[in-house]
Amino acid sequence: MTINGVPLKLFAPRYWPVWLGVIILRLLAFLPYPAMLKTSRFIGTVFYPLAKRRTRIIEVNIRLCFPDKTPQQQKQMAKEALISGVMAIFEIALAWWGSDKVVNNLLYNVKGHEHYEAAKKKGKGVILLVSHFTTMELAGVFLNREIGNVKYVYKRSTNELIEYFIRHKRLQKGCAELIKHKNLREIIRSLKRGETIWYAPDQDFGRKDSVFAPFMGVATSTLLSTQRLARLTGAPVVPYYLARLDGSKGYEMRISPALEDFPSDDEVHDATLINQAIEKQIALAPEQYLWGHRRFKTRPEGEKDVYTS
């Protein structure tokens, strides 16, 4: 039994806090884009000294990844990263409930579409190497518009109501299919059918099926799944991300050429190439990367936890 397509069980009291968040997101979608930018800057600035746990993670990541910056510069980067993280909330609202006209007008430019077309012509499917930037949800909407028929590999939410909205809204906005990240069989089948897969491997899942490879100069637990999928299917790996432009211009889609000589017989080398592709994107908009994630929580043997030391 459902109410407007939502299973009745998801209206239970334990989901009411999530429903409140959904209502707030729905209302945020009505704000003009310039107001979103200004509001996110205000909220991020105010909460920077208050959100101590999240701020601490961001500051540690920035310090490790940008050791050449002065402490003052690192702190300013951390503030901008938090502001960008707040803006991501508004971007989710835009992606899920913004009018098509408003959202479409925000796509300022597309760079590198020819790189995707060249990879697609090989007939082996395409692995779109996506990174966890704060613009990620809108990146999917614009990708559906420009390319279409893309299958998203994602990690299922443990909250059933959040999971419902993630699936419902992404499919509603043109995603071809959502595939759970552990369903490797379906990912491989899709690639062998020549389809395009959205794949974001830049998170720390521990030591299993990972190697330590340099990322922003730090030994980082890096998943081996991307190169294994490429080896099994022959699919080229094409980096993609969405950049939030200065002012109120909107966004620019950036698609890079497929990784060359990938995969190889060296797992660490391949993991390093993946990380380098993400580093190039970060260099263009460092504050827009998701620095609030504990990217370096798994350390090589003998190294201390960087977030508690």
In three-state secondary structure terms, 221 is strand
Q: Find residue 18's DSSP bridge partners.
A: none
Strands (E), the chain: 2-3, 6-7, 107-111, 126-130, 150-154, 177-180, 196-199, 210-215, 218-223, 237-244, 251-255
Strands (E), 65-209: 107-111, 126-130, 150-154, 177-180, 196-199
Q: Which of 113, 123, 108, 57 is nearest to 85 (CA)?
A: 57
**Residue 293 near residue 132, CB atoms below 8 Å:** yes
Q: What is the pLDDT of residue 309?
A: 63
**Residue 216 near residue 65, CB atoms below 8 Å:** yes
Name the amino acid, one letter, at 79.
Answer: K
Q: Which of 152, 160, 199 is nearest to 179 (CA)?
A: 152
DSSP string for residues in 238-264: EEEEEEEPSTT--EEEEEPPPPTT-S-
pLDDT in tens, 252-291: 999 999 999 999 999 999 999 999 999 999 999 999 999 9
**Residue 48 near residue 55, CB atoms below 8 Å:** yes
**Residue 176 near residue 193, CB atoms below 8 Å:** no
Which alpha helices (H) appear in 178-287, and where do they start and end?
184-192, 225-233, 267-284
- The pTM assigned to this predicted structure is 0.93
Q: Which of 143, 115, 98, 102 is nearest to 241 (CA)?
A: 143
What single DSSP character describes residue 265? S
Question: In this structure, what token pair is assigned to residue 59?
Answer: 């500051």
pLDDT in tens, 139-162: 999 999 999 889 999 999 999 999
**Residue 221 near residue 206, CB atoms below 8 Å:** yes
Counting as low any pLDDT under 70, the low residues of the chain are 309
Residues 6+ apart with CB under 8 A from 147: 116, 196
Q: What is the pLDDT of residue 265?
A: 94
Distance between CA atoms of residues 280 and 273, nearest Å = 11
Exposed, middle or buried, 305 (CB in 10 Å: 0-12/13-18/19+)?
A: exposed
Q: Torsions phi, psi of 30, nearest 5?
A: -80, -15
**Residue 36 near residue 28, CB atoms below 8 Å:** yes
Q: What is the pLDDT of residue 217?
A: 96
Tell how strand 210-215 and strand 218-223 pair up: antiparallel
Q: Torsions phi, psi of 69, nearest 5?
A: -80, 150
Distance between CA atoms of residues 91 and 37, nearest Å = 10
